[in-house]
C-alpha cells in the first residue's frame, strides 16, 4: 500500500475502521497535550495516526504519520521468531500464528519499526498474544481492500501491487516535484517494505527510522548460517586438544591435588 502523507487531513477514519473490522476495544486515555490518541500502538490499536507539529521553512505545520506494520519484504520479526510464528505470505501480509508463539517478545526487539505489541494485561487463562496489523488479510483474500484504505476519505492510502505502487509514487513525485521529498520511503528501507510512504518533509522528521537498504537481520542470519559448521569445527578442536594434552602427559605420574580439602 502507498501512503501519501501530503493528502492526509488527520481525520483518523482509518484508525477507527481498523478497530471496527478487527474488533479491537477502545482504550481509556488521558489528555497528554497532543492529538495523538491513544499515545502509541498497542495490542488493541494496530494502526495509529500520529500528529506532529513540525517547523519547516519558518512555519509550524501539522503533519500526520500513519503508523502500522510495514509488512516488510524481509521481515525482521519473522527472522527473529524462534518458533516461526511470523511469516511473510506470497500476497504481501506478514502474518502471525496464534498457536505457535511462546511470548518471548524477541520479534518486538528485532522489528526496526517498533511495531509488534503484546497483551501485557492478560493472565495465562486469557491467552496473551503478540498483536499487530494483519493487512486485513481476510478482506484482501476476498477481493476487498484493507479497512483503512477503504475508509480513507482523502484517498491517502492506496492499495495495490508493490511494483505498480512504486511506479505510481514515482509518477506523483515527477508530476509535482515541489510537493514531495524525492524518494519513496520503503522502496529500499530494511530490504524493502510492502507499505510505502510519500511525504513533503524528510521521513526522519516525520518519525520514520533511518534505515539501510539491507534487512536489519543480515548479521544475525549470517551468524546462524555458520553456527553449525562452527560448532562442528570447535567440537573437533576441543576433542583434538584434549587428546593432544593427554598424549603429552602420558607416562607422567599423576600429580596429587596440590592440597587436600578439609
Partner 1 sequence: MTLARFRPSKGTLALGALSALAFVVAVMRYAFGLRAISNLSDGYPWGFWISFDLLCGVALAAGAFTTASVVYIFDLKRFNPLLRPAILTGFLGYLMVIVALLVDLGRPERIWHLIIFWNPESVMFEVGWCVMLYTAVLALEFSSVVFEKFGWRRLSALHRYVTPALVILGTLLSTLHQSSLGSLFLAAPTKVQPLWFSPWLPVFFFLSAVAVGPAIVIVESFISARVLQRGLETELVGELARAIPLALGAYLILKVFDLTTAGEWGSAFQGSTGALFWLEIIGGVILPLGLFALPSVRRSDARLFGAALLVIGGVVLNRFDVSLIGWARPAETWYFPHWMELAMTAGIVAGGVMVFGLVARYLPLFTPSHAAEPAE
Q: Which does 221 bind (CB under 5 to 8 A by kind): partner 1, ligand SF4, none?
A: partner 1
Site residues for partner 1, 51-80, by CB under 8 A, read 76, 79-80
169 Cβ contact partners less than 8 Å away, ≥ 6 residues apart:
2, 4, 184, 187, 196, 198
Tell the smallest beta-carbon distance from residue 134 to partner 1 (Å): 17
Among 91, 141, 213, 242, binds partner 1 (CB under 8 A): 242
Q: Which does 124 bind (CB under 5 to 8 A by kind): ligand SF4, partner 1, none?
A: partner 1
Contact letters for partner 1, residues 113-142 (x by CB under 8 A): -x--xxxxxxxxxxxxxx------------
Among 53, 91, 100, 204, binds partner 1 (CB under 8 A): 100
Tell the smallest beta-carbon distance from residue 9 to partner 1 (Å): 23
Phi and psi (nearest 5°) for 142? -100, 20
Instruction: Examine residue 226 and tell whether it contacts partner 1 (CB under 8 A).
Output: no
Q: Which does 72 bind (CB under 5 to 8 A by kind): ligand SF4, partner 1, none?
A: ligand SF4
Near partner 1 by CB under 8 A, which window of 16-24, 101-109, 144-152, 180-188? 101-109
Among 13, 85, 156, 208, binds partner 1 (CB under 8 A): 85
Instruction: Examine residue 238 and tell whether it contacts partner 1 (CB under 8 A).
Output: yes
Instruction: Examine residue 167 and tell whether it contacts partner 1 (CB under 8 A).
Output: no
Cβ proximity to partner 1, 40 vs 167, nearer residue:
40
Cβ proximity to partner 1, 77 vs 149, nearer residue:
77
Among 26, 91, 209, 213, binds partner 1 (CB under 8 A): 209
Q: What is the DSSP string of the chain?
A: -EEEGGG-----HHHHHHHHHTTPPP------SSS--SSS-BTTBSSEEEEEEEEETTEEEEEEEEE----BSS-HHHHH-TT--EEE-TTS-EEE-TTT-----HHHHH-TT---EE-TT--GGG---EE---TTHHHHHTTPPPHHHHH-TT--EE-S-HHHHHHHHHHHHHH-TTTS-SS-BTSSGGG-BSSEEE-SS-HHHHTPPP--SS-TTHHHHHHHHHHHHHHHHHHHHHHHHHHHHHHHTTTSPPPPPSS---
Amino acid at each position: 500500500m502507498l501512503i501519501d502523507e501530503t493528502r492526509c487531513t488527520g481525520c483518523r477514519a482509518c484508525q477507527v475502521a481498523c478497530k471496527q473490522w478487527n474488533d479491537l476495544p477502545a482504550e481509556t486515555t488521558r489528555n497528554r497535550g497532543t492529538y495523538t490518541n491513544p499515545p502509541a500502538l498497542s495490542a488493541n490499536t494496530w494502526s495509529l495516526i500520529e500528529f506532529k507539529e513540525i517547523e519547516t521553512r519558518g512555519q509550524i505545520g501539522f503533519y500526520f504519520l500513519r503508523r502500522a506494520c510495514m509488512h516488510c519484504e524481509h521481515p525482521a520479526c519473522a527472522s527473529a521468531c524462534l518458533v516461526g510464528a511470523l511469516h511473510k505470505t506470497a500476497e504481501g501480509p506478514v502474518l502471525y500464528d496464534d498457536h505457535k508463539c511462546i511470548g518471548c517478545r524477541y520479534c518486538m526487539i528485532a522489528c526496526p519499526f517498533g511495531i509488534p505489541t503484546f497483551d501485557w494485561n492478560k493472565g495465562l487463562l486469557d491467552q496473551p498474544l503478540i498483536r499487530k496489523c494483519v493487512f486485513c488479510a481476510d478482506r484482501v483474500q476476498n477481493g476487498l481492500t484493507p479497512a483503512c484504505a477503504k475508509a480513507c476519505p482523502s484517498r491517502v492510502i492506496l492499495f495495490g501491487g508493490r511494483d505498480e505502487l512504486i511506479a505510481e509514487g514515482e509518477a506523483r513525485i515527477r508530476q509535482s516535484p515541489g510537493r514531495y521529498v524525492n524518494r519513496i520511503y520503503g522502496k529500499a528501507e530494511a530490504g524493502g517494505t510492502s507499505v510505502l510512504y510519500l511525504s513533503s518533509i524528510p521521513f526522519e522528521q516525520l518519525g520514520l527510522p533511518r534505515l539501510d537498504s539491507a534487512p536489519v537481520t543480515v548479521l544475525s542470519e549470517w551468524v546462524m548460517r555458520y553456527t553449525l559448521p562452527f560448532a562442528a569445527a570447535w567440537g573437533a578442536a576441543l576433542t583434538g586438544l584434549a587428546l593432544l594434552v593427554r598424549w603429552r602427559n602420558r607416562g607422567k605420574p599423576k600429580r596429587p591435588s596440590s592440597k587436600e580439602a578439609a
